[in-house]
């Protein structure tokens, strides 16, 4: 099925097509090119996509967006990044889909995936969402440009680490519904305080379509600040949270035998009971945001409940698997994609609910600014409360936590992921539960990969 014709691409991006061609997908990573894709030859400080044109067409590209001539079928524009943004705007302009934008310091990828599962479950409706964590200045327009014209719902994750970024991204997405999942000191190095982070997240409401809905965490200390940002742009503001005062509230939350949560929620004047497959109180909060958004776009709440019950773990963001150790198995909780103080606390609480000896491999949290030492040291209580017996701390920034835990539990402070992997595999035994979490740059995904073979 054609996603874009070459003439449509040329008209959208203000370029000239060398030949007639149709594409079924869009990418700017030559390693991800599949048959029928449009390859966008992005240029930057580190590399130039034009160098990989031959590779892209060998992998099956149907055409390319370029800024200089090539023998391959192409649309030539003055600037390929500007061309990608123009294609994203054309995609947004041609769709009749209900669009949901998601941001937050934590929980945005999981909420986006849960929303997609809830909205795409209907046999008569289809949904599109941004893949992976494509939530920045290139990922958002790429995700928009990939949206089929006839889709019913679009769900887009938007991230930022500086003021002003979301203000631009939200004008591309132009959501009918905008969600802020949570506010926490992520990327704190670039902001004077947490209120400034809330202000930056509140920029998402600037792009709301007329009649749009803002969905805001009731339990957040920044709730009123976020409401203030939403009021000039939203026709309706809906709050969600664990407190009974929220518009979408959890009336009851009971942990299930499988580790998930059985929830009874109030959505406006209605009550709904459902099970969340993913463990942890933070997922209860995420699920309430999902219900609020599904309701706002006129989706089926019952199908949303079923989707939450069947939602699988995401690699690096809560995926779980067992590894064979001797005559038994150990549980691995993969949270290796990223970390900030709020998500560290949430996932340590998840580990604390597991049976058996508890181990944690925790990588340093980056971009926390001048309060970095304090944020790391403050994790001592969550580590102890989780009943962690041995913790492997990775990276220089973990020194304050190592000091705070000294003499209380077994602490191994190591310089890198490779050393952490060796220490963990040497001590792992049957019946253990191990959490692996840290900022993405620490590279703890390599520790997960070493265990994912299924046997130690």
C-alpha to C-alpha distance for 39 and 273, rounded to whole angstroms? 45
Contact 213, 238 (CB under 8 A): yes
Strand-pairing partners, residue 214, are 178, 237
Domain boundaries, the chain: 4-80, 95-310, 319-451
For residue 208, pLDDT over 80 is answered with yes
Q: What is the pLDDT of residue 79?
A: 96
Residue range 67-88, pLDDT digits in tens: 999 999 999 999 999 999 999 9
Best-predicted range by mean pLDDT among 126-135, 203-212, 275-284, 333-342? 203-212
C-alpha to C-alpha distance for 456 and 454, rounded to whole angstroms? 7
For residue 315, pLDDT over 90 is answered with no
The C-alpha R_g of the chain, in whole angstroms, comes to 23
C-alpha to C-alpha distance for 15 and 214, rounded to whole angstroms? 37
Q: What is the mean pLDDT of residues 332-347?
A: 93
Extended beta strands in 89-220, E state? 98-103, 127-129, 153-157, 177-180, 213-217
For residue 91, pLDDT over 80 is answered with yes
Q: Can you list the alpha helix ranges (DSSP code H) found in 297-358? A: 301-310, 341-352
Q: What is the pLDDT of residue 196?
A: 95
Q: What is the pLDDT of residue 418?
A: 97
Q: Which CATH code is given to the segment(s) 95-310?
A: 3.40.1190.10
Out of 91-95, 184-188, 353-357, 429-433, which region has the weakest mean confidence (pLDDT)? 184-188
The answer for residues whose C-beta is within 8 angstroms of residue 345's C-beta and 6 or more apart is 379, 382
End-to-end CA separation in angstroms for the chain: 45
The pLDDT-based confidence of 133 (bands split at 50, 70, 90) is: confident
For residue 189, pLDDT over 90 is answered with no
> What is the chain's length?
456
Q: What is the pLDDT of residue 127?
A: 98
Contact 433, 331 (CB under 8 A): yes
Q: Which CATH code is given to the segment(s) 319-451?
A: 3.90.190.20
Number of H helices, E strands in the chain: 16, 22
Q: What is the mean pLDDT of residues 15-44?
A: 96
For residue 111, pLDDT over 80 is answered with yes
Q: What is the mean pLDDT of residues 200-210?
A: 98
Q: Is residue 177 classed exposed, middle or buried when 0-12, 13-18 and 19+ CB atoms within 10 A define those classes?
A: buried
Q: What is the pLDDT of residue 257?
A: 87
Contact 129, 115 (CB under 8 A): yes
Share in percent of the chain as helix, strand, coil (round to 5): 40, 25, 35
Is the full-model pTM beyond 0.85?
yes
Percent over 90 (pLDDT), the chain: 92
Residue range 47-64, pLDDT digits in tens: 899 999 999 999 999 999
Q: What is the pLDDT of residue 312?
A: 87
Q: Is residue 427 classed exposed, middle or buried when 0-12, 13-18 and 19+ CB atoms within 10 A define those classes?
A: middle
CATH (one of 1.10.10.410, 3.40.1390.10, 3.30.70.2190, 3.50.30.30) for 4-80: 3.40.1390.10
Closest-CA residue to 416 (of 365, 372, 367, 363)? 363
């Amino acid at each position: 099925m054609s996603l874009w014709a070459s003439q449509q691409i040329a008209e959208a991006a203000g370029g000239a097509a060398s030949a007639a061609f149709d594409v079924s997908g869009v990418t700017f990573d030559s390693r991800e090119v599949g048959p029928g894709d449009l390859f966008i030859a992005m240029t930057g400080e580190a590399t130039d996509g034009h160098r990989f044109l031959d590779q892209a067409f060998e992998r099956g590209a149907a055409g390319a967006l370029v800024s200089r001539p090539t023998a391959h079928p192409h649309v030539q524009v003055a600037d390929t990044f500007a061309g990608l943004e123009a294609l994203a705007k054309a995609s947004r302009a041609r769709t009749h889909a209900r669009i949901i934008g998601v941001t937050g310091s934590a929980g945005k990828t999981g909420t986006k995936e849960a929303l997609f599962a809830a909205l795409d479950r209907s046999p008569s409706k289809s949904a599109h969402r941004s893949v992976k964590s494509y939530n920045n200045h290139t990922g958002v327009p790429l995700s928009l440009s990939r949206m089929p014209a006839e889709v019913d719902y679009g769900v887009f994750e938007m991230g930022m680490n500086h003021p002003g970024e979301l203000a631009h991204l939200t004008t591309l997405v132009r959501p009918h519904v905008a969600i802020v999942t949570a506010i926490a000191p992520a990327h704190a190095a670039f902001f004077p305080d947490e209120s400034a982070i809330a202000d930056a997240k509140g920029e998402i409401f600037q792009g709301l379509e007329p009649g749009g809905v803002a969905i805001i965490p009731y339990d957040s200390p920044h709730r009123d600040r976020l409401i203030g940002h939403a009021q000039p742009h939203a026709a309706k503001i809906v709050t969600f949270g664990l407190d009974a005062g929220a518009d979408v509230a959890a009336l009851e939350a009971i942990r299930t035998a499988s580790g998930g949560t059985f929830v009874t929620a109030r959505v406006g004047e209605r009550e709904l009971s459902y099970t969340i497959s993913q463990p942890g109180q933070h997922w209860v909060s995420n699920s309430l945001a999902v219900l609020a958004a599904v309701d706002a776009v006129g989706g089926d709440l019952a199908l949303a409940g079923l989707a939450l019950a069947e939602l699988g773990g995401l690699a690096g963001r809560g995926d779980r698997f067992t590894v064979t150790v001797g005559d038994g198995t150990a549980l691995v909780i993969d949270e290796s994609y990223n970390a900030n103080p709020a998500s560290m606390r949430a996932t340590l609480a998840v580990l604390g609910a597991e049976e058996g000896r508890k181990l944690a491999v925790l990588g340093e949290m980056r971009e926390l600014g001048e309060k970095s030492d304090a944020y790391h040291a403050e994790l001592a209580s969550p580590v102890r409360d989780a009943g962690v017996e041995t913790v492997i701390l990775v990276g220089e920034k973990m020194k304050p936590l190592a000091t705070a835990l000294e003499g209380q539990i077994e602490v191994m402070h190591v310089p890198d992921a490779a050393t952490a992997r060796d220490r963990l595999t040497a001590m792992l035994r049957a019946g253990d539960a191990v959490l692996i979490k840290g900022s993405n740059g620490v590279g703890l995904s390599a520790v997960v990969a070493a265990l994912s073979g299924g046997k130690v």
